[in-house]
Amino acid sequence: MQFQIEATSGCARTGRLATPHGVVETPVFMPVGTLASVKGISQDILEELGVEILLGNTYHLYLRPGIEQIRKLGGLHRFMAWPRAILTDSGGFQVFSLNDLRKVTEQGVTFRSHLDGSSHFLGPESAMEAQIALGADIIMAFDECTEYPADEERGRKSMELTLRWAERSKKYFEGHRHEVPWGSGRRPSALSPQENPSNACLGTASLSCPAQLAVTQDSRSPSAGSGHALDSTVRPDNGPHDSGRDENAEREEWSQSLFGIVQGGMDPDLRKESAERTVEIGFPGYAIGGLSVGEPRRLTRETVEATIQHLPADKPRYLMGVGTPEEIIEYANLGIDMMDCVLPTRAARHGLLFTSEGKVSIKQARYGGDESPLDPICGCRVCQRYSRAYLRHLYASNEVLAQVLNTVHNLSFYLDTMRAVRHSIALGKKACFLSGEQSQRKP
Amino acid sequence: MQFQIEATSGCARTGRLATPHGVVETPVFMPVGTLASVKGISQDILEELGVEILLGNTYHLYLRPGIEQIRKLGGLHRFMAWPRAILTDSGGFQVFSLNDLRKVTEQGVTFRSHLDGSSHFLGPESAMEAQIALGADIIMAFDECTEYPADEERGRKSMELTLRWAERSKKYFEGHRHEVPWGSGRRPSALSPQENPSNACLGTASLSCPAQLAVTQDSRSPSAGSGHALDSTVRPDNGPHDSGRDENAEREEWSQSLFGIVQGGMDPDLRKESAERTVEIGFPGYAIGGLSVGEPRRLTRETVEATIQHLPADKPRYLMGVGTPEEIIEYANLGIDMMDCVLPTRAARHGLLFTSEGKVSIKQARYGGDESPLDPICGCRVCQRYSRAYLRHLYASNEVLAQVLNTVHNLSFYLDTMRAVRHSIALGKKACFLSGEQSQRKP
C-alpha cells in the first residue's frame, strides 16, 4: 500500500492511498457495508456515488455467511462483486459492544452470537486469520476498545492489552498474509481479463492487480459459468485510479495492509504513550480507536488532537466511528485522513436526512405537500428527481424505496462534503461546510 | 388514446398503445406500483428495465397519502416523478378483498381502512373522481369482482351490478375528465420544457403532452424551487415513443381513457352477455376481471377464451391480475394485450426467483457456495454482476438489498419474457417460453 500526500493546508492534507483494489483519495469517508452490503444500495450505485472504499464488519461476516464460505468464494471483493477497496475492522469493537455477552482474557474474547447465542472466540490471531481470508485491502489489529468512562488504571490496563494484541496481530499477519484469497505474491501485471493468466508477469504499462489474476484464473474453472461478467467487475476501475503510477509503485508487492490502533481512553498521556508504542511496533497506517463511545464531543476533539501529534505525518491516520457532517470536516482539518460511521446510512433509514439547509426529518407531516427537492443544491439522483412530498409519503408508508432513496442522498451528502473538503485543502484553504450559513449553525 | 395493431400470429397480436405519457408496446406486462412505488425499485431503474407503463392502486393511494394531496401536487405522474404511462385500478378489487370489512349496496361499497379501521365509501362516481385526480393515463370502471365460486344467480346479480356501475362510471368520467390535473384540453404542442408555455399551441413536429405543459407552468411558480429538474423528468421519453406520429394523432385530444370491465364469474354465457353489454356501453378498451380469484388455472383459461371472442378485436384487452411467466405467454397467445400481477415483485421479496432454468428459491442453503449467476442467460444487472451465493447471503441475512436485487431480476425476467413474446408474434410465430427446456417443465 502506498500513501502519497498531495497538498496541505494547516494540519489538513489531501492524499492518495494506493491499494490493491484501486486508489482512494483522502480525506475519505468510508460507508459501512456491514454484512457485505451497504444497506439497500447496490454496488453500481455506490460506484456512481464515487465510493472508492467501503468498510466491512468482520464480526458480522464471521457469523453470516461465515469466513470460510467467503474465502472459498475468493474473498469479500469477489463475493460482493465490489472491485474497489475494502477495509475490515477486526471484530473487536462489535465484541466490545455486546457487553453482556463477552469475557475478555489475555488470549482474546469469548462471546455469544447476538443471533442465536452460540459461543465463539476471537483473538488477535483468529481476527487476523479471518481478515486475511476476507481479503480486505486494509485490515485492523485486534484491539480492546476501552469503555467510557474509564479511570487511569483501567485505561492503562486496557491500553497495554491492546499493545500486546497489536504485537500478536502483526506477527500472525506477517506469517500468513500470503494466504489472502486473491494474492499471488507476484508483481502487478498488465493482464486484462481476456488475456492468458500465465502471461501474468509481463509488466506492461497498464496495471491490474492480483485480485484480477485470481478472478481470471477462476473464470476458467468449470463451476464459474460461461459468460459470467464477474471477472470484469472485479477489475479495478481503470479511470483516474491507474493514472500516474511510477516505476517504484509498479514493483511494489500488492497485498493487504494491517493498521495499528491507538487506545488510551481520554487521557492525553496514555494516548501519547499508546501512539508511540504502537508506532514502535510499526504499521503502514494508524487508527485512533476508543472514541465516539459516549464521551462529549469536546473531549473527542481534544483526544484526537492529543493523539494525532504523536502519529507519523507520512502515514494515513484513521479516526474510527465518526461522525456528523460537521465533525468529519472538523477532523479532516485536524489531519485525519480516513473516517467511517454508520450515521449517514442508519439515520437515512430513520428518515433523518442531512442537507445543506440542515437536518430534515422527512417523516414530518409538513413535508406532505412540499414539492421542492430535498436539498436544493444537491446533485444526487434523489434531489434531482423526487420531491420532499414523495419522500415523506414513502417513509410514512414504510416503503422500502424510502430507505433506498434516503440512503442514496445521505451518502451523497457525505461524499460531496468530503469532496469539497479535499478541494478546499488542495486550494490551501481550511475546509468548511458546504453552505456559508452552516458555519453559523449549531451542530 | 390510440391503439394500433402491428402484427398478428393466430389470436396473438402486437400493438402500440399511444397514451398521453408515451407509447406502450403490447402485449405488455405492467409492474404493480401499489403505493406510488414498485417496492424497492427506483424510477430510473424501472426506466432502465424498459417499463413503459406501471399500475397504481387507487385504494391504497386513497388511504396514503390521500387523493387530494396527490391532486394538489399535480397528479400521480408528477408526484412519483414517473414520466411514462400509468394505469390505475378503481379500488374495487382491494375493497372486495377486504371481505370482512365491507358492505355492498347499489350506491357502492362502505369499507373500513385496513390501516386504522376508519370508515370509508367508494362508488362509481367517487372512484372516477379519485382516478381523475390521480391522473393515470388509463383508468378502470368501478366494478364488483365476483367471488369464486359463485352460483349462476349470484354471478348474474353481480354482473348486472357491475354493468350499472359501468354506466355510472362512464357518465361521471365524461362529465369530469377535464379536471385531470395535467389536462389542458388543448391539442398537443411542440413545447419543450424550456419554451414559453404561452406558445403552447404552435403544433410543430415534435410532440409533447399536456402533462408537460402543466409541469412547465408549475416550474415558474415560486414554490417550485430553482433548478429543480422535475420538469424534465415528467417529459415523455422522446425516443422511439414519439416517432412516426401522423397528423390525425396530432389532432387527437390527449386525455385519460376509461376501460370497462367484464365480469360474469366462470359462466361462459354470463361472460358473453357481460362482454356484449359492456361493449354496448362503449369503452376504448376492455378488461377481463374476476379471474385469478382462486379458480383452477384450466378454468381461468377457458373463461378467457369464452370472453375474449366477444370483445372487439380493434381495442386493447386487459386481463387483470395474472400471472406466472408461463401464463402471461399463454394469455398473450389467446389475444390478451395487457396484464398486471404482483407475483414477480411479491415473489422476489420472498426469495422466489424466476429463471430460464425454472424457479429458484434463493434462501436454500445449497446456493450458499454457488458462484454462478442466478440465471445464466439473463442480461439484467443482477445476473451480470452477482452470484447466487451472494444473493442467498443477502436474503438469509434479511438485507434490504436482497429485496431490491431479487425484484430487479424478476421484473427483468417478466419484461424480457414479454419482449420475446412480442418478437415471436411479430415474426408470425406462436410465442413460447424463453428456453426450449421450459416448454416441457411442469409449471
Tens digits of residue pLDDT in A178-234: 999 997 644 333 333 333 333 333 333 333 334 443 333 333 333 333 334 344 344
The pLDDT value recorded for residue B31 is 98
Query: Are B70 and B76 contacting, i.e. CB atoms less than 8 angstroms apart?
Result: yes
Relative to beta strand B338-340, strand B28-30 is parallel
Q: Which three cell numbers stand for residue B175?
A: 362529465
Relative to beta strand B22-26, strand B317-319 is unpaired
The amino acid present at A290, given as its one-letter code, is G
User: Per-residue pLDDT averaged across B299-306, rounded?
Assistant: 97
Percentage of residues in chain B having pLDDT higher than 90: 75
Instruction: Search chain A and give the residue with CA nearest B215.
Output: A371
Query: Are B172 and B128 contacting, i.e. CB atoms less than 8 angstroms apart?
Result: yes
Tens digits of residue pLDDT in B3-15: 999 999 999 999 9
d(C-alpha A359, C-alpha A347), whole Å: 10
d(C-alpha A404, C-alpha A199), whole Å: 43
Residue B363 sits at the chain A interface (C-beta within 8 Å): no
List the single residue in A65, A229, A393 with the smallest CB-CB distance to B384.
A229
Asked whether the beta carbons of residue A39 and residue B400 sit closer than 8 angstroms, the reply is: yes
Q: At B28, phi and psi to the nearest 5?
A: -125, 145
Model confidence at B96: pLDDT above 80: no
Residue window 12-41, chain A: list those with CB within 8 Å of chain B: 35-37, 39-41
Rg (CA), chain A: 22
How close does chain A come to B232, measured CA to CA in Å?
A: 9
How close does chain B come to A360, measured CA to CA in Å?
A: 17
The pLDDT value recorded for residue B321 is 96
Model confidence at A442: pLDDT above 90: no
How close does chain A come to B69, measured CA to CA in Å?
A: 7
- Contacts of residue A64 in chain B, CB cutoff 8 Å? 393, 396-397
User: Per-residue pLDDT averaged across A356-378, rounded?
Assistant: 97
- Contacts of residue B366 in chain A, CB cutoff 8 Å? none
Query: Are B136 and B256 contacting, i.e. CB atoms less than 8 angstroms apart?
Result: yes
Helix (H) or strand (E) holding B354: strand B352-355
Do you find a cis peptide bond into B92, omega within 30 degrees of 0? no
Helix (H) or strand (E) holding B15: strand B12-19
Q: Which of A89, A218, A231, A416 is catalytic?
A: A89
* Sheet containing B2-9, strands listed edge to edge, beginning at the edge strand earlier in sequence: B2-9, B12-19, B22-26
Q: Rounded to a whole number, what is the distance in angstroms from the first to the last CA of chain B?
A: 36
Q: pLDDT: is B232 or A274 the higher one?
A: A274
Classify each residue of B270-289 as buried b or exposed e, where b means 16 or more C-beta atoms within 10 Å of its C-beta.
bbbbbbebbbeeebbbbbbb
Q: Which three cell numbers stand for residue B284?
A: 376504448
User: Per-residue pLDDT averaged across B292-305, rounded?
Assistant: 96
Q: Which three cell numbers stand for residue B209?
A: 403532452
d(C-alpha A440, C-alpha A417), whole Å: 17
Instruction: Determine whether A89 is an active site residue.
Output: yes
Tens digits of residue pLDDT in A33-70: 999 999 999 999 999 999 999 999 999 999 999 999 99
Model confidence at A440: pLDDT above 80: no
Residue window 175-214, chain B: list those with CB within 8 Å of chain A: none
Model confidence at B63: pLDDT above 60: yes
Q: Of A136-140, A242-246, B432-436, which range is least confident?
A: A242-246
User: Cα dist. B324→B54, B364, B374 in Å?
Assistant: 17, 21, 18
Query: Are A267 and A155 contacting, i.e. CB atoms less than 8 angstroms apart?
Result: yes
Cα B321 to chain center, whole Å? 10
E runs forming strands in A35-155: 53-56, 85-88, 102-104, 109-112, 119-122, 138-140
Placement of cell 362503449 in the chain: B282
Asked whether the beta carbons of residue B226 and residue A376 sit closer than 8 angstroms, the reply is: yes
Quick one: three-class SS letters along B296-340? CHHHHHHHHHHHHCCCCCCCCEEECCCCCHHHHHHHHHHCCCEEE
Chain B interface, mutation test: which of A47, A114, A228, most B Cβ atoms within 10 Å? A228
SS3 label, residue B166: helix
The pLDDT value recorded for residue B297 is 95
Other beta carbons within 10 angstroms of residue A408's beta carbon come to 22
Mean pLDDT of chain B: 85
Classify each residue of A79-91 as buried b or exposed e, where b means 16 or more C-beta atoms within 10 Å of its C-beta.
bbbbbbbbbbbbb
User: Cα dist. A252→A209, B92, B360 in Å?
Assistant: 11, 69, 45
d(C-alpha A109, C-alpha A128), whole Å: 14
- Contacts of residue B389 in chain A, CB cutoff 8 Å? 65, 69, 73, 79
Residue A372 sits at the chain B interface (C-beta within 8 Å): yes
The pLDDT value recorded for residue A254 is 75
- Contacts of residue B385 in chain A, CB cutoff 8 Å? 43-44, 81, 229-230, 233
Rg (CA), chain B: 22
d(C-alpha B164, C-alpha B171), whole Å: 11
* Predicted complex ipTM: 0.86
| DSSP type of residue A370 | -
The pLDDT value recorded for residue A431 is 65
Q: Give the residue ranges of DSSP H helices in B366-441.
A: 381-385, 388-396, 400-426
Which residues share a beta bridge with B286? B260, B317
Residue B397 sits at the chain A interface (C-beta within 8 Å): yes
SS3 label, residue A217: helix
The pLDDT value recorded for residue A404 is 98
Q: pLDDT: is A235 or B268 the higher one?
A: B268
Residue A80 sits at the chain B interface (C-beta within 8 Å): yes
Asked whether the beta carbons of residue A35 and residue B393 sit closer than 8 angstroms, the reply is: yes
Other beta carbons within 10 angstroms of residue A288's beta carbon come to 27
Q: Which three cell numbers stand for residue B2?
A: 390510440
- Contacts of residue A404 in chain B, CB cutoff 8 Å? 40, 42, 400, 404
Chain A interface, mutation test: which of B387, B388, B408, most A Cβ atoms within 10 Å? B387
Q: Cα torsion at B68, B70, B75, B81 (round to 10°)?
A: 180
The pLDDT value recorded for residue A432 is 65
Burial of B243 (0-12, 13-18, 19+ CB in 10 A): exposed
Residue B390 sits at the chain A interface (C-beta within 8 Å): yes
Tens digits of residue pLDDT in A385-431: 999 999 999 999 999 999 999 999 999 999 999 999 999 999 987 76
Model confidence at A7: pLDDT above 50: yes
Confidence of residue B97 (pLDDT cuts 50, 70, 90): confident
d(C-alpha B290, C-alpha B302), whole Å: 13
Q: pLDDT: is B259 or A243 the higher one?
A: B259
Overall residue count recorded for chain A in this entry: 443
Helices H / strands E in chain A, number of each = 17, 16
Q: Model's pTM, two decimal places? A: 0.86
The pLDDT value recorded for residue B429 is 77
* Sheet containing B109-112, strands listed edge to edge, beginning at the edge strand earlier in sequence: B102-104, B109-112, B119-122
Asked whether the beta carbons of residue A399 and residue B37 sit closer than 8 angstroms, the reply is: yes
The pLDDT value recorded for residue B431 is 66
Model confidence at B169: pLDDT above 70: yes
